[in-house]
Amino acid sequence: MINFNIVIATYNSEDTLEQCLESVRAIAEYASFEVILIDGASQDDTLGIARKFADILSVVVSEPDSGVYEAWNKGLSYCSHPWVMFLGSDDYICPAEFLEYLAFVETANSCDFVSCRVRMVEPDGRAIREVGLPWKWQTFKRYMCTRHPGSFTSLDYIRRVGNFDESLKICGDYELILRGGSSLKAAYWPGVPICMRAGGLSDGIAVLNEALGVKLRAGFRGRIMSIADYLISVAKYLLRTRLMSSR
C-alpha cells in the first residue's frame, strides 16, 4: 500500500467541499494518506464544513494567499509521504475506481508523475466528457494532454525542480511538469477515478493564453510553433463550445 498526501486548496468553497471530503473519507479505511487543507481565509462556511471532517484532516491552515499555487506550495511544506495528489475543492473521488488506481500507482514507484483520465461533470453530476491522455513528450510540449486532478507527483521530483510558480494563476501545474522535459518518468492509468466540475479557470480561453506564455518561456517548442499550437487550441475550444451550446 502506498503512502501519499492529498493537498486541497479552498476559498469560499462551501458549495462543493463537503462532497469532495466525503469522497476522500470513503477511501480512508482502505488507503494510507494524510489530507492537508489550505484555505485562503474564506468568508463563507468553508471552515465549518472542514470541521465536520476532522477525522480525516491532518492539517488545516486558513490565511490569505495569492491563489491556488501559493496554497499548494504551503501544502507541500507539510507533506511527508513520497507522493502528493492535488485535489480541487470542487473535484471528488470515485472510490472503487480510485482504489484500483492506487494499486497501479504502487507499481510506478520509480516515476515522477502518474496520471489518469478525468470525468468532466455538470454541477448536478451529469457527465459531459472524459479527458486526459498519456504523457508523451512530443505532445506535452505542445499542450497539457494529461489532467492534473487525480494525478500523483513524486515529492522527490518537486524537490528536484522546485515548487509551483506563484506568478501563474491557471497553468502552474502544466509548468511544473514541463520542467521535467523529455526525461520526465511518467505513467498513465486509463481508468476514471476522479470527477471534475466543468466551468473553472482551467476550462476556458484564459488557460490557453497563460499556457502560451509558459511554453514561450520554457523554449522547448519555439516561438512560431508555440503560437501555431495556441491558435489551433483556441479554434478547437471555440468549436467545442459552439457544438455544446447547440445541443
Q: How large a percentage of the chain has pLDDT more than 70?
A: 98
The residue behind cell 462556511 is 45
How is residue 11 annotated by DSSP?
S
CB atoms within 10 A of CB 106: 12
Please give the pLDDT value at position 203: 62
Please give the pLDDT value at position 161: 98
Angle formed by the axes of helices 223-245 and 205-218, to 10°? 170
Burial bucket for residue 51 (CB in 10 Å: 0-12, 13-18, 19+): exposed
Q: What is the pLDDT of residues 152-187, one digit of tens each?
A: 999 999 999 999 999 999 999 999 999 999 999 999
What SS3 string covers 117-145? EEEEECCCCCEEEEECCCCCHHHHCCCCC
Q: How confident is the model at residue 190 (pLDDT cuts 50, 70, 90)?
A: very high
* Joined grid coordinates for residue 214: 509558459
For each of the domains in the chain, give its residue range(s) and CATH number, in order of start: 3-245 (3.90.550.10)
Percent of residues in the chain assigned helix, strand, coil, to nearest 5: 40, 25, 40
Please give the pLDDT value at position 222: 92
- What integer is the mean pLDDT of 132-145? 97
Q: Judge whether 221 and 181 are in contact, CB under 8 Å.
A: no
Please give the pLDDT value at position 245: 75
Beta bridge partners of 7: 36, 86
Q: How confident is the model at residue 247 (pLDDT cuts 50, 70, 90)?
A: low
Q: What is the pLDDT of residues 30-57, one digit of tens each?
A: 999 999 999 999 999 999 999 999 999 9
> 42 vs 199, which has greater pLDDT?
42
Q: Judge whether 31 and 1 are in contact, CB under 8 Å.
A: yes
Check pLDDT > 70 for residue 116.
yes
Q: What is the pTM of this model?
A: 0.94
Q: d(Cα 240, Cα 86) in Å, to the nearest integer?
A: 27
